[in-house]
Amino acid sequence: MTKNFDVIIIGAGGVGSAAAYYLAKAKQRVLLLEQFNINHQKGSSYGYSRVIRYAYDNPIYVNLMRAAYPLWFALEKEAKETLYIKTGELDFGNINAPSLQQVADSMEREKIDYENLNAAKINQRFPQFNIPETMAGIYQEDTGILKASACILTHLKLAKNYGAIIQENSPVISINSNQEIVTLKTYQETYTSQSLIIAAGSWTKQILIPLGLNLPLTIMPCQLAFFEVQNPQQFMPGEFPIFLAHFVGEYGQFPYGLPPCGHQGLKLSTFYGWDTVEAINEVNYTPSLAWIEILRTFLNQYLPTANGELIETRRCLYTMTPDKHFIIDYHPNYNNILIAAGFSGHGFKFTNLVGKILTELITERKTQYNLSLFKIKRFL
Ligand SMILES: Cc1cc2nc3c(=O)[nH]c(=O)nc-3n(C[C@H](O)[C@H](O)[C@H](O)COP(=O)(O)OP(=O)(O)OC[C@H]3O[C@@H](n4cnc5c(N)ncnc54)[C@H](O)[C@@H]3O)c2cc1C
């Protein structure tokens, strides 16, 4: 096998797999190195489902989603696979909850259609909910589910078809760069390339320290759970929307849920509010059963018929930046190293677009997309 490449990518999660696809399609000679097996459960991207939505509190993300949606549809077409399931999304919270208003404002600004619903209308349209009249919601119909693991496997399959080399169980253990050539070592081999993409999720901080960059990334191991529902038909996509509750409880911040998609029961978690750790070796992957019981208080109150048996629960990692905005930028000292990390629990829907952007930044040294929120200089 050749050991010299145009681009080497570290990490076969959502971002690295999409980058491999777009780069290989752009005729770059690509090597993708993954430390574990493909589709492992220790990082951020494994699973049945991730939410794809326009409903963001910042118009920059809404605008980027305008580009990401058609890329997912194009991928489905090229691969002849169904990767997106339309469900619609209900955001609800106290009348005048600031974050709810911000989501409405940014969709308004970006001319994305949505509906305002009072509590009575929500309960009538979605009788699975029990929303008090002190609350209100907004509904956006394009929100849906991306079949997360299937998206990654599809990007990797097509990347291979375009000539990319994908190597699992190959941790990168050292990186050296002299501006023109990057040299990487795994336990078995030494590789060189003109460019490097570090898409290493929660491992990124440690990888960058020897390259003279200490980013303020932390790791948030969050937990998700699947609950049996009383009437499964009522909770299927089409009958039951993805929801995001704009409030905080003892169970965490912003509870959200998804209808079944490749899994049984209602998927439930909270968007934020989990303790963070500094380094990957501090992560505790063991789920808390105490939290499951606390989470049931949310179900009892708002979704009483979804408070059934626990089907499955596990932990998954967010790689957090202090402002929850991504990092997509060149290394400040090496213009042949790109870093794409810190997706702060909301990156999957953008991974295809990020792969395209990284490809443009390598092949054209510029991109048409607005990356102003994602610069490294905000931390220097
Ligand atoms: C429970 C949960 C729910 C989420 N829900 C949503 C959602 O609904 N919508 C949404 O948009 N986003 C969501 N996210 C966030 C989204 O999943 C992540 O932002 C995205 O998956 C990040 O992908 P990544 O490629 O950066 O990281 P990862 O998937 O972690 O990939 C990084 C890869 O790099 C590899 N690696 C690290 N170091 C090395 C090395 N030295 N050598 C080789 N390989 C290495 C790792 O093994 C890993 O496979 C959710 C995340 C979680 C955990």
pLDDT in tens, the chain (380 residues): 569 999 999 999 999 999 999 999 999 999 999 999 999 999 999 999 999 999 999 999 999 999 999 999 999 999 999 999 999 999 999 999 999 999 999 999 999 999 999 999 999 999 999 999 999 999 999 999 999 999 999 999 999 999 999 999 999 999 999 889 999 999 999 999 999 999 999 999 999 999 999 999 999 999 999 999 999 999 999 999 999 999 999 999 999 999 998 888 999 999 999 999 999 999 999 999 999 999 999 999 999 999 999 999 999 999 999 999 999 999 999 999 999 999 999 999 999 999 999 999 999 999 999 999 999 999 99
> How many whole angstroms from 57 Cα to the centroid of ligand 1?
22
Cβ–ligand 1 distance for 254 under 6 Å, the answer no
The predicted pLDDT at position 263 comes to 86
Cβ–ligand 1 distance for 91 under 6 Å, the answer no
> How many whole angstroms from 293 Cα to the centroid of ligand 1?
27
Cβ–ligand 1 distance for 347 under 6 Å, the answer yes
Atom number of ligand 1 nearest to Cα 318: 53
The predicted pLDDT at position 2 comes to 61
The residue whose CA is least distant from atom 47 of ligand 1 is 35
Atom number of ligand 1 nearest to Cα 170: 43
> How many whole angstroms from 171 Cα to the centroid of ligand 1?
16
Cβ–ligand 1 distance for 221 under 6 Å, the answer no
Of 169, 47, 78, 66, nearest to 112 by C-alpha is: 66
The predicted pLDDT at position 1 comes to 58
- Give the Cα separation of 246 and 206 in Å (integer): 34
Cβ–ligand 1 distance for 208 under 6 Å, the answer no
> How many whole angstroms from 120 Cα to the centroid of ligand 1?
38
Percent composition of the chain: helix, strand, coil (DSSP 3-state, to 5): 35, 30, 40
Atom number of ligand 1 nearest to Cα 340: 26
**Contact in structure between 306 and 266 (CB atoms under 8 Å):** yes
**Reported pTM:** 0.97
- Give the Cα separation of 82 and 62 in Å (integer): 23
**Contact in structure between 21 and 355 (CB atoms under 8 Å):** yes
Q: For a substitution probing ligand 1, which of 40, 44, 64 has the most ligand atoms within 8 Å of its CB?
A: 44
> How many whole angstroms from 44 Cα to the centroid of ligand 1?
3
Cβ–ligand 1 distance for 223 under 6 Å, the answer no
The b/e string for 348-359 (b: 16+ C-beta within 10 A; e otherwise) is bbbbbbbbbbbb
Share the mean pLDDT of the chain: 97
The residue whose CA is least distant from atom 31 of ligand 1 is 13
- For residue 192, what are its two tokens? 């060189």
Q: For a substitution probing ligand 1, which of 50, 151, 243 has the most ligand atoms within 8 Å of its CB?
A: 50
- Give the Cα separation of 23 and 8 in Å (integer): 10
Cβ–ligand 1 distance for 51 under 6 Å, the answer yes
